[in-house]
Structure 1
Amino acid sequence: MRQETPDGRTGRDARCPAHHLPEDPGSLVDPYSALEDLRGTGPVVRVRLYGRFDVWWVTSYAAAVAALESPDLASDQRCVHPDLAEHVSPMRLGLIDKDPPDHTRLRTEVLRALSGDLPTFRRHAEARCAELVDALVPQCSTDLLPALIEPLVDETTGAFLGLPQRVDTALRTAADRLLRPMASIDARRQILEARLALRRHVRTGPPPGSGHRTAPGLRGDAPSDEWVDVLLQMYGAGRRSTTDFLATLLLDFLSQEGWSARCRTPRGRRLVTDEYLRLDGPIVRGVWRFARADTYLAGTPIAVGDIVIVSLALADRDPAVFPTPARLDPERAPNRHLQFGHGTHRCIGVPLVHALADTLLATLARRFPEARTPGDDPAHRCGRVSVFRGPARVPAALGSRRPP
């Protein structure tokens, strides 16, 4: 698997020239055009990130599924080559960053708790969403991000995980810093500091017997380090990616003619949700994997220790799987998008995201069916530094309010 040049150089310094990506594609108004340029060069492409290190970038749907299913590509960053270790974010600490048998054990426990408590989560989300929507002022313009989306996601996610009800600016700032791109050594330091701050927050959760909803693992005064990390990832990454997705969904969908009519049925709301996840989901950079052995992916040799990034954004716009992939199709079915991942590491929060999206669309369509947004204007995408993609504002003209 090791390559050699005529002058005798071997290994990573003998690789094919790498393509350069924009430093932060997720912050671009249209990152997809830049990413699409890679698709024509092959299903697995050598890419230089932040001008500092090289990775393998997976561009096709078939190669993405193969990578996510491959036993030779690990989720555990300990498989990365020592030369690349400093470029891996210390945010990689939770369930999706583990391999069997630890991943199997933890996933089973989380799914058991989630399946039993999903109806409770749904009722809580519906009640809180109704309160927030009722607090909106008719015939006015408002930013739905701080007025509706952020409090809905913050409070329902925190309650489900059994975290303290206090959701202040300092906590949200620490959670967002955990999700900074690894663009510099200073970013790595900020991520480490945020991780420590969030650990302290998790450990100050409600005491046993307080009647507060708890997540698995928060069964005693001192949750294990393993469970603290699981909860950190579920709160930090889960909260931010869900907030970003719901903001993207409302910003564009409420600008579409007849949007409220499409929300009259659960099927209509589900089709819309899945199409926006596919078309403009929160994960642009992709899912990281680390080669635990020399292997091949779509015919491309991958050396042990290499980083492989599965571009979910490109996979979900692969014309071989999705006809007219750059066009919004609210009736697209089937819609086998990969925004939640694939296989054994598929996101366990899928039913929570669907419940929140369904509740939000149904409540807004019932109470403010005339609400309108200006669409995905570039001005609403500014100022974001995150591994996830989402707008900074969701301005909406609400129109009249219908009775409950």
Structure 2
Amino acid sequence: MTSVDDGKVVSVRKEWSPGRTLPPDFFNNPGDDVHGWDNEVRSHCPVHKINHPPGAEAYVVADYETALSAFGDPRLSKQLAASPDWFQEQLKDASPILVHHMLNADPPDHTRLRKLVSKAFTARRMERMRPAIQQITDDLIDAFPESGEVDLMTFAFDLPMNVISEFLAIPPADRGKVKSDVVLLSNAPYPDEERNRLLKAASDKVEQYLVGLLADRRDDLGDDLVSVLIRAADEDEVYSEEELISNLVLLIIAGHKTTAHLIGNGMSALLARPDQLELLKADPSLVESAVEEFLRFESPVFRGTLRISTEDMELAGVKIPKQSFVHVLLGAANHDPAVFDNPGELDITRQPNRHLSFGHGPHFCAGAPLSRVEGSIVFPTLLRRLSGLRLAVAPSDLEWAFDNSTSRGLRSLPVRYDALLPRE
């Protein structure tokens, strides 16, 4: 259903009509105008059938109002046990380590697991992380050439991995191997046997590593996140070792990939709009508002994680059979003109900005405070230290990565600058 034009894959959007089921390409090959397709689906009917996972009964939710209600709908389960048997088997076989985290749970299990994680992601702890995050940011920028061209996506991926590794007190010598295995895990499950075989191997390695890390840390508890989780688990005595490990993996994935895409997506949007770029450079105090707008404008997590209908139901007048996958499109909801004025425009002063990029309700992203702190440090530091920062290619030439995960970002972000300035 795809074609090739000048060596680039062309989206199948032009072959789709509102009366037809959306193809998997809606997620993994949407073409250059991602929000154009989102807008088309929303304007026809905000809840629409999609063939994803391929062969499954599945639907997308593309408007803000229905997405908001779906987040709190008790008929939409997050439990893996609510999904079809074949999907459970596929995920358990490929990555058993990911089965026990809080995103695959409903209350009361979700409440119990989230309580564990929330003890680490307090606002006070995030503020205490600021000096370390600033140092990690400056250390990475110090390694840039004095002037010229760099791929900012390398920086964007390195920074949050270094931050979450620092937060977890993972030894520097171990971080490379943990990162490579976690990148594989972040896309589980894959549609082909070969990558699922590699995924299973990565899952086993990460599990073995974290079992050892937990054992070592129990002998020498500190103030790091792993120690905080161990203390909380031992105090409450209601968490298994599997749950501890699974939620640690979730934190590494969420603290790495999505923040990397926040940096890449936000910087590419900013550099393509000189007026907004100059506004933020002139007034760095706008950074918190700017980060919220980056999250809305090009959401690093473009669709919500697992949701399964536990009974026959309706959403926006569309019948949803029991045991259907329901994909809440965060990026589409964040561009709903019924909620956001001129949603296709980047406005770093936008107020209010009730975006859904971190979800809503009980499953609101526990790591959101860390991601926001990282963004508030990274963007002004890059603009301050890279004099004359600009895109090295036309915005239309930037290549987006579409994979099996719920996140979306750039493959590379080539930029040029005239001089590397010293840290403050």
Q: What TM-score range do you get, normalising by the shorter chain? A: 0.7 to 0.9
Hey, what does 1:277 align to over in structure 2? 295
88, 113, 125: which one aligns with 1:106: 113
Hey, what does 1:209 align to over in structure 2? 220
Hey, what does 1:360 align to over in structure 2? 378
Letter in 2 for 1:180: N
Indicate yes or no: 2:184 matched with 1:177: yes
Q: Distance in 2 between matches of 1:50 and 1:105?
A: 29
Aligned residues: 388
Structure 1 portions without partners, runs of 5+? 1-15
Task: Give the 3-state SS of the residue equivalent to 1:20 in structure 2.
Answer: coil
Stretch deviating more after TM superposition (244-253 or 184-193): 184-193
Hey, what does 2:131 align to over in structure 1? 123
Indicate yes or no: 2:173 matched with 1:166: yes
In the TM superposition, what is the alpha-carbon distance from 1:211 to its structure 2 partner?
A: 4.7
Q: Quick one: structure 1 residues 240 and 27, their matched pair in 2 at CA, closer, same or farther if it must change by over 3 Å?
A: farther
TM-score, scaled relative to structure 2: 0.82
Task: Give the 3-state SS of the residue equivalent to 2:129 in structure 1.
Answer: helix
Hey, what does 2:418 align to over in structure 1? 399
Letter in 2 for 1:48: N
Q: Quick one: structure 1 residues 402 and 180, their matched pair in 2 at CA, closer, same or farther if it must change by over 3 Å?
A: closer
Hey, what does 1:44 align to over in structure 2? 47
Stretch deviating more after TM superposition (117-126 or 370-379): 370-379
144, 151, 155: which one aligns with 2:158: 151
Q: Quick one: structure 1 residues 50 and 78, their matched pair in 2 at CA, closer, same or farther if it must change by over 3 Å?
A: closer
What are the superposed Cα offsets for residues 320-375 of structure 1, whole Å, 9 maximum, x if unpaired?
11122122122211111111000010001111111111111122233224222246
Which protein has the bigger helix share? 2
1:3-152 counterparts in 2 under 5 A? Answer: 18-22=21-25, 24-25=27-28, 28-49=31-52, 51-82=54-85, 85=88, 90=95, 91=98, 93-115=100-122, 116-146=124-154, 148-152=155-159
Hey, what does 1:238 align to over in structure 2? 255
Stretch deviating more after TM superposition (95-104 or 168-177): 168-177
Letter in 2 for 1:217: L
Indicate yes or no: 2:230 matched with 1:218: yes
Contact 1:316–1:338, Cα closer than 8 Å, also in 2: yes
Q: Quick one: structure 1 residues 23 and 172, their matched pair in 2 at CA, closer, same or farther if it must change by over 3 Å?
A: farther
Q: Quick one: structure 1 residues 341 and 266, their matched pair in 2 at CA, closer, same or farther if it must change by over 3 Å?
A: farther
1:305-344 counterparts in 2 under 5 A? Answer: 305-344=323-362
Contact 2:160–2:255, Cα closer than 8 Å, also in 1: no
Q: Distance in 1 between matches of 2:421 and 2:20?
A: 60
Structure 2 portions without partners, runs of 5+? 1-18
Task: Give the 3-state SS of the residue equivalent to 1:113 in structure 2.
Answer: coil
Letter in 1 for 2:25: P
Q: Quick one: structure 1 residues 84 and 17, their matched pair in 2 at CA, closer, same or farther if it must change by over 3 Å?
A: farther
Q: Quick one: structure 1 residues 255 and 317, their matched pair in 2 at CA, closer, same or farther if it must change by over 3 Å?
A: closer
Q: Distance in 1 between matches of 2:312 and 2:174?
A: 45
Letter in 2 for 1:342: H
In the TM superposition, what is the alpha-carbon distance from 1:157 to its structure 2 partner?
A: 0.7
Hey, what does 2:3 align to over in structure 1? none
Contact 2:28–2:403, Cα closer than 8 Å, also in 1: no
What are the superposed Cα offsets for residues 155-181 of structure 1, whole Å, 9 maximum, x if unpaired?
111121343433554432321211226
Contact 2:152–2:415, Cα closer than 8 Å, also in 1: yes
Contact 1:274–1:335, Cα closer than 8 Å, also in 2: yes
Letter in 2 for 1:163: I
Hey, what does 1:6 align to over in structure 2? none
Contact 1:287–1:312, Cα closer than 8 Å, also in 2: no
1:366-381 counterparts in 2 under 5 A? Answer: 366-374=384-392, 377-381=395-399
Q: For the aligned residues, what is the CA RMSD?
A: 2.9
Contact 1:199–1:228, Cα closer than 8 Å, also in 2: yes
What are the superposed Cα offsets for residues 135-190 of structure 1, whole Å, 9 maximum, x if unpaired?
333322222222x3222211111121343433554432321211226452425444
Q: Distance in 1 between matches of 2:20 and 2:411?
A: 36
Task: Give the 3-state SS of the residue equivalent to 1:287 in structure 2.
Answer: coil
Task: Give the 3-state SS of the residue equivalent to 2:44 in structure 1.
Answer: coil
Stretch deviating more after TM superposition (85-94 or 208-217): 85-94
Hey, what does 2:271 align to over in structure 1? 254
Hey, what does 2:245 align to over in structure 1? 228
Contact 1:372–1:397, Cα closer than 8 Å, also in 2: yes
Q: Distance in 2 between matches of 1:252 and 1:108?
A: 35
Q: Distance in 2 between matches of 1:383 and 1:66?
A: 29
Q: Quick one: structure 1 residues 111 and 383, their matched pair in 2 at CA, closer, same or farther if it must change by over 3 Å?
A: closer
**Percent of aligned pairs with the same residue?**
24
In the TM superposition, what is the alpha-carbon distance from 1:42 to its structure 2 partner?
A: 1.4
Letter in 2 for 1:400: A
Q: Distance in 2 between matches of 1:307 and 1:50?
A: 8
Q: Quick one: structure 1 residues 290 and 164, their matched pair in 2 at CA, closer, same or farther if it must change by over 3 Å?
A: farther
Contact 1:59–1:310, Cα closer than 8 Å, also in 2: yes
Contact 2:104–2:306, Cα closer than 8 Å, also in 1: no
Q: Distance in 2 between matches of 1:227 and 1:75?
A: 18
In the TM superposition, what is the alpha-carbon distance from 1:125 to its structure 2 partner?
A: 0.2
